[in-house]
Amino acid sequence: MFDILLHHSTLVLFGIIFFGIALGSIKIYGLNLGLSGVLFVALAAGHYRLAIPDGVGQLGLALFVYCVGLSAGNRFFSAIAKQGSKLAIMSAVIVGVSALFTCLFGIWFKVPAGISSGIFAGACTSTPALAAATESLPGASGSGVSIGYGIAYPFGVVGVVLFVQLLPRLLHFDLNKEAKAMHSRQEVSIISRLVRVTQPNLIGQNIADCKLLDGLHCMVTRVVRNDRLMPLTPEDTFREGTEVLIVGNSDTMPHDIAFLGEVCDNPYPMDSQKERRKLILTNKNYAGHKLRDLKTLRTDGIIISRISRLGFTFVPTGETTLERNDVLTVVGTPENLTKYGDKIGHRSQDMNQTDLLSLGFGLSLGIILGLVNFSLGNGAGISLGIAGGPLIVALLLGHFGRLGPIVGYIPRPTRLLLQDLGLVFFLADAGIKGGADLVDTVATHGAAVFIMGVIVTCSGMFAGYFVGMKVFKMNILECLGGICGGMTSTPALGAIASKTDSQAPVVSYATAYPVALILMTIIAKVIIQTIGGVVGI
C-alpha cells in the first residue's frame, strides 16, 4: 500500500508541497526558508526517484512569472527609465564574472568544455544556456553538457535562494524597514486637503466647467455647504472664500494648493460611508474614454477621486482613460452613486472575480512568444522560453491594463494565490530533476567539479552585490532582485517576495532578467570555444 502511494505522482507532488511548506515555516534564529522549503524536500524526493506529473514545472513557471509581470507592470517601464542601465550593467557583470570563473577553473581542473559549459548553465540556472551549449556539442560531448548542468544546477538553485535569504540577515538589513524607506523616497501617497479658494481667476466660474482646473494634478471632490463637506453638484461655483476638499498626490499637492488659495483647518464633518463608493467598470461601451470627455460632474453628478488598476491606485486627471475592470472611488449623493454604478455596469461580485478567458489567452500568447526564435546571426538564435514570454506579455498588460481583448485585471488575493501555487509547482519540479542524478554525477566526476559549480554561482552573486550596493548605491531590495534576475533565478525571487510586500525586487528582476538571458546564451558558446581550445571538448 505504501509503495502504491509513493508511485502516485499527484499525491507525491502535493506531499512535497505540504512537507516543503512545513519545513519552510520552521524558524531558526529568526530565519526561515518560506516556500523555498519545497525545493529542499523535492531534492530529497528526486534522490529517491520519486516522480511528479509531467509538465507541472512548466505550468508553475508560466503562472508564477505571469502573475509577477502583472504585479510589476505598472512600475516596470518607469524603473527602466530610472534604473535600467544600472541593472543591465549589473546583470552583465554577474554573467561575465560567472563565465570568467568557469573558464579559469575549467582550465585549472582540466574539465572538458562540454561539462564546463554545462556547469556554467547549471550554476546560473539557465536552461537557454544549456540548450545553446548542447546544440553546439552534439553527440557524446553534448551529454557532457547535461552532466555538468546536473552537477551545478542544485546548488545554483539552492545557493541563490540561501544567498538572498542570508545576506540581509548577516548584514543586519530589515527588509520591511528598507521597503518603507524606499516607498517614502520613490512613491507618493494620496492625500486630501481642505482649501479656501482665493485665486481671482477662479471666482465666479462653475466648478464643473472650469478649464483652469485642467492644469492641476488633484481632483476637487467636495465643497463646504451649511458647515458640512458635501459632494459637488453641477451648479456649484467658485466664490471668494469657498472651501473645497481636494484629493491628490503628496508631491504635487503644494503646487495645487498654491494655485487654488490656502489651506484651512476647519473640522467640517462629512458622510463618507453614504457619499463615497468603490465601483468597478465593466461596461465596455463606457470604457476607453478620457475622463475630461465624460464630464462626470456635469452629466452624472459625481466625481471620480481615485482609480485602482491592477493593484495600483492613483488620482486621475482629465487625460486619464478609463479601462474595463478599473475600480473607481466615486464621490456623490447616494442616488447619483447608484445611477452611476448602473451606468458603468458595476457588479459587486466582479471586484473579486478573475476573467479566466483573459488569463488563458494571455498565458497562451506569452507561451507562443516564448517559443519564437530570434536570430543572432551565424545560424544562432535565442528564444525567451516559458519564463520570458509570459513575463513580457504580463508586463505589458500590467502597464497598459489591456492588450486588445486581453484584460490584465486579477484581484490581488487571486493573483497572489496563483503566484504562490505556480512557484511551488516549479520548485517541486526543479528539485525532483536536480536531485535525481546529484549523487551519481558527483561520484563520477569528483567533488572538484561540484566545487567549481559552487564557485561559479557564488562569484556571480557577490559580483552583483558589489556592483549594486557599492558602485550604484542601490537599495538592498533592488539589489537582491537584480541578482535574482542576473542569475535567472525564479525560486530566489520567490524567496524575496515571501519576505516583503515591496515590488522593488520584482521590478529589478524583470529588468535584469532579459539581459542575463541573452548574454548567457551567447557566452555558453564562447566558453566552449575558450576551454575547448585548451582542455578539449
Q: What's 262's domain CATH number?
A: 3.30.70.1450
Pair (136, 275) in one structural domain: no
Higher local confidence (pLDDT), 177 or 209: 209
Q: Say if 495 falls within a structural domain.
A: yes
Residues 248 and 135 in one domain: no
Chain centroid to Cα 69, Å, comes to 5
Q: What is the mean pLDDT of residues 302-314?
A: 82
C-alpha cell belonging to residue 57? 514545472
Nearest Cα to Cα of residue 120 among 500, 532, 524, 464? 524
**Cell triple for 264:** 484651512
Q: Give the bridge partners for 377, in sequence order.
A: 380
The pLDDT assigned to 503 comes to 74
Q: Contact 487/460 with Cβ under 8 angstroms?
A: yes
Where does a domain end: 303, 322, 352?
352
- Average pLDDT value for residue range 261-280: 87
Q: For 427-438, what is the mean pLDDT?
A: 74
Signed CA dihedral, 484, 489, 495, 500: sign only = positive
112-126, 237-251, 413-427, 500-514: which range is least confident on average? 500-514
* Domains contained in the chain, number: 2
Residue 277 belongs to what domain range? Answer: 188-352
Is 342 in the same domain as 370? no
Task: Give the pLDDT confidence score for residue 445 in this predicted structure.
Answer: 65
Span 138-143, mean pLDDT? 54
Based on the domain organization, do 345 and 303 belong to the same domain? yes
Q: Are 388 and 514 a contacting pair, CB within 8 Å? A: yes
Number of Cβ within a 10 Å radius of residue 154 = 27
Contact 36, 428 (CB under 8 A): no
Q: Are 38 and 435 in contact (CB under 8 A)?
A: no
State the pLDDT confidence band at 364, using cuts at 50, 70 and 90.
very high
Identify the band that residue 139 occupies on the pLDDT scale cut at 50, 70 and 90: low
Cα 188 to Cα 250: distance, rounded to the nearest angstrom: 6
The predicted pLDDT at position 525 comes to 79
> Which residue blocks in 401-535 are alpha helix, DSSP H?
412-436, 438-445, 447-465, 476-486, 490-497, 504-532
Count of helix runs (H) and strand runs (E) in the chain: 21, 13
Q: Does residue 437 lie within any of the structural domains?
A: no
**Band of the pLDDT at 461, cuts 50, 70, 90?**
very high
Does 92 lie in the same domain as 73? yes
List of residues 6+ apart from 230 with CB closer than 8 A: 222, 223, 224, 270, 275
- CA 449 vs. chain centroid, Å, equals 34
**What is the reported pLDDT for 79?**
61
- Separation between Cα atoms, residue 146 and residue 12, nearest integer Å: 26
48 within domain boundaries: no
Domain shared by 134 and 275, yes or no: no
**pLDDT tens track for 82-108:** 667 888 899 999 999 999 999 999 998
Least confident of 32-41, 45-54, 452-461: 32-41
Classify each residue of 292-301 as buried b or exposed e, where b means 16 or more C-beta atoms within 10 Å of its C-beta. eeeebbeebb
Residues whose CB falls within 8 Å of the CB of residue 350, separated by 6 or more in sequence, listed in order: 280, 282, 325
Residues 381, 477, single domain; the answer is yes
Residue 319 shares a structural domain with residue 406: no
| pLDDT of 142 above 60 | no
Distance CA 173, CA 160 (A): 17
Could you tell me if 426 and 490 are in contact, meaning their C-beta atoms sit under 8 angstroms apart? yes
- pLDDT range class, residue 442, cuts 50, 70, 90: low
Task: Give tens-digit pLDDT for 377-427.
Answer: 655 566 777 777 887 888 788 777 767 777 777 877 888 888 889 888 987
> Are 499 and 71 within 8 A, CB to CB?
no
| Residue, of 145 and 476, whose pLDDT is higher | 476
User: Within a domain: residue 331?
Assistant: yes
Q: Is pLDDT at 4 greater than 60 in this prediction?
A: yes
Among residues 306, 328, 352, the one where a domain terminates is 352
pLDDT tens string 274-294: 899 989 887 878 988 888 899
Q: What percent of the chain has pLDDT over 70?
A: 85
Query: Which residue is listed with cell 536531485?
Result: 435
- The pLDDT mean for the chain works out to 82
Q: Is the pLDDT of residue 325 over 60?
A: yes
Q: What is the pLDDT of residue 138?
A: 60
- Measure the CA–CA gap between 67 and 390, rounded to whole angstroms: 9
Which band of pLDDT confidence, cut at 50, 70 and 90, is reported for residue 347? confident
Over residues 163-188, the mean pLDDT reads 74
pLDDT for the residue 193? 92
Give residue 32's pLDDT: 62
What average pLDDT score do residues 205-233 get?
89
Decide if 1 is inside a domain. Answer: no
Q: Is the pLDDT of residue 524 over 90?
A: no
pLDDT reported for residue 296: 92
Q: What is the pLDDT of residue 484?
A: 93
The answer as to whether 28 is a domain residue is no
> Do 157 and 201 have their domain in common?
no
Mean pLDDT for 216-223 is 90
Give the residues across from 191 on adjacent strands.
Answer: 248
φ, ψ dihedrals at 195, nearest 5°: -125, 135
Between 364 and 429, residue with greater pLDDT:
364
Q: Nearest Cα to 76, choosing from 428, 404, 503, 474? A: 503
Residues 372 and 510 in one domain: yes
Query: Cβ of 422: how many Cβ atoms within 10 Å?
Result: 24
Phi, psi of 60 (to 5 degrees): -65, -40
Q: Find the mean pLDDT for residues 339-363.
A: 80
Query: Which pTM does this prediction carry?
Result: 0.62
pLDDT given at position 469: 93
Strands 402-403 and 373-377: unpaired
Out of 297, 324, 352, a domain closes at 352
Give the chain's length.
537
Phi, psi (deg, nearest 5) at residue 302: -135, 160
Residue 97: predicted pLDDT: 96
User: Do 336 and 192 fall within a single domain?
Assistant: yes
Please check whether residues 144 and 248 belong to one and the same domain: no
Region 197-201: what's the mean pLDDT? Answer: 90
**Which pLDDT band holds residue 122 (cuts at 50, 70, 90)?**
confident
| Residue 352 pLDDT class (50, 70, 90 cuts) | low
